[in-house]
């Protein structure tokens, strides 16, 4: 997101009433000067958010851009919300993932295993999974599209979230739903909007992570981790297909060590499974919530996470 040079309160107040009457909330930031006038509209007819703030909207035509100050409404300037991120670590799964033993902890609810990195870990990676809903048919005419995956670390020394990874597209593989079989290759397809889609194979999940390698860190400087991705279903069967996604993360001993016996990458944790549909959805995880450890080192509380001003859609809208 561009850094505004000047914040113009008067323009923001004038346009705020239009946007609130429509479908989102924003403030206007002036980049250039212009004497153009806004489009006229009957006072009783809401002006859609995108006619003001979207590409080609009136603000863009006169040199303004919109900075979001609220979310969660159709047409709003962000996809993710603070409350959605918090609930991804507090709420129940929206359905059971197919093929996962029900006595596994993460099959039942979100989990946080290691809210801060062990002292021998200097890297991390975000990851996520896509599963069919248990008991639901798995049609062939549907794919999952993924975009804008990110990981962030809250650093003690800076007192803020710092991005550790970011990639528009993802990579990964298919694993058996219960990880009993060796993984298989994903049929990836780059999509016109910049995202990348994966085929969905009966009996297998999609496990994905950022391109470009792991993030690096000083483990003694880390207080928390946060990962997020944007996802949706595409294809002729997308409207009726039932699939779930969740996000998580792993600490790694370093940026290049292999999986080995599994001891090189202690899990940070993973969030709840949420339904995917044909509209874009942000799916997130952070190292806290009601299912994290209360003992040292404790997981972050929802209030602590909220007060840290976590980034929402750091890479923009899908």
Burial level of 296, CB count in 10 A (0-12/13-18/19+)?
exposed
3-state secondary structure of 24: coil
| Per-residue model confidence as pLDDT tens digits over 155-171 | 999 999 999 999 999 99
To the question of pTM greater than 0.75 for the whole model, the response is: yes
| Per-residue model confidence as pLDDT tens digits over 260-273 | 888 999 999 999 99
d(CA 314, CA 309): 12
- Interval 40-48 mean pLDDT: 35
Decide if 317 contacts 82 (C-beta within 8 A).
no
Determine the number of helices (DSSP H) and then strands (DSSP E) in the chain: 6, 17
d(CA 177, CA 210): 21
Number of other CB atoms surrounding residue 265 within 10 Å: 21
Decide if 132 contacts 200 (C-beta within 8 A).
yes
| Per-residue model confidence as pLDDT tens digits over 87-146 | 999 999 999 999 999 999 999 999 999 999 999 999 999 999 999 999 999 999 999 999
* DSSP one-letter code for 262: T
Cis peptide before 297 (omega within 30 of 0): yes
| 286 contacts: CB under 8 Å, gap ≥ 6 | 85, 88, 89, 224, 225, 226, 227, 271, 300, 305, 310
| 86 contacts: CB under 8 Å, gap ≥ 6 | 289, 302, 305, 306
Decide if 234 contacts 199 (C-beta within 8 A).
no
- Distances in Å between the Cα of 45 and the Cα atoms of 26, 61, 163 are 19, 22, 41
User: What are residue 229's DSSP bridge partners?
Assistant: 283
Share of the chain above pLDDT 70, in %: 76
d(CA 175, CA 129): 10
3-state secondary structure of 251: strand
Ranges 21-35, 112-126, 223-237, 295-309: which has the least confidence? 21-35
Looking at residue 63, its pLDDT comes to: 42
Share of the chain above pLDDT 90, in %: 73
Q: Is the pLDDT of residue 231 over 90?
A: yes
φ/ψ of residue 114, rounded to 5: -135, 90
């Amino acid at each position: 997101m561009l850094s505004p040079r000047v914040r113009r309160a008067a323009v923001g107040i004038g346009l705020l009433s239009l946007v609130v009457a429509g479908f989102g909330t924003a403030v206007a930031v002036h980049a250039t000067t212009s004497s153009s006038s806004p489009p006229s509209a009957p006072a009783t007819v809401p002006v859609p958010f995108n006619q003001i703030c979207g590409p080609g909207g009136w603000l863009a035509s006169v040199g303004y851009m919109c900075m979001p100050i609220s979310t969660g409404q159709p047409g709003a300037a962000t996809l993710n919300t603070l409350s959605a991120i918090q609930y991804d670590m507090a709420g129940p799964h929206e359905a059971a993932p197919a093929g996962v033993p029900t006595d596994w902890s993460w099959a039942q609810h979100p989990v946080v295993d290691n809210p801060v990195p062990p002292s021998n870990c200097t890297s991390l990676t975000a990851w996520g999974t896509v599963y069919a809903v248990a008991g639901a048919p798995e049609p062939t005419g549907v794919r999952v599209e993924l975009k804008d995956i990110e990981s962030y670390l809250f650093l003690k020394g800076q007192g803020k979230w710092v991005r550790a990874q970011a990639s528009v597209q993802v990579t990964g593989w298919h694993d058996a739903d219960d990880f009993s079989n060796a993984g298989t290759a994903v049929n990836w397809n780059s999509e016109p909007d910049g995202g990348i889609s994966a085929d969905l194979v009966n009996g297998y999940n999609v496990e994905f992570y950022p391109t470009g390698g792991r993030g690096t860190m000083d483990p003694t400087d880390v207080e928390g981790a946060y990962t997020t991705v944007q996802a949706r279903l595409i294809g002729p069967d997308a409207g009726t297909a039932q699939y779930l996604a969740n996000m998580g993360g792993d600490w790694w001993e370093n940026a290049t060590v292999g999986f080995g016996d599994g001891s090189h990458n202690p899990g940070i944790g993973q969030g709840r499974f949420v339904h995917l549909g044909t509209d874009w959805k942000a799916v997130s995880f952070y190292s806290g919530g009601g299912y994290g450890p209360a003992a040292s080192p404790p997981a972050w509380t929802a209030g602590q996470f909220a007060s840290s001003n976590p980034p929402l859609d750091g890479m923009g809208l899908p």
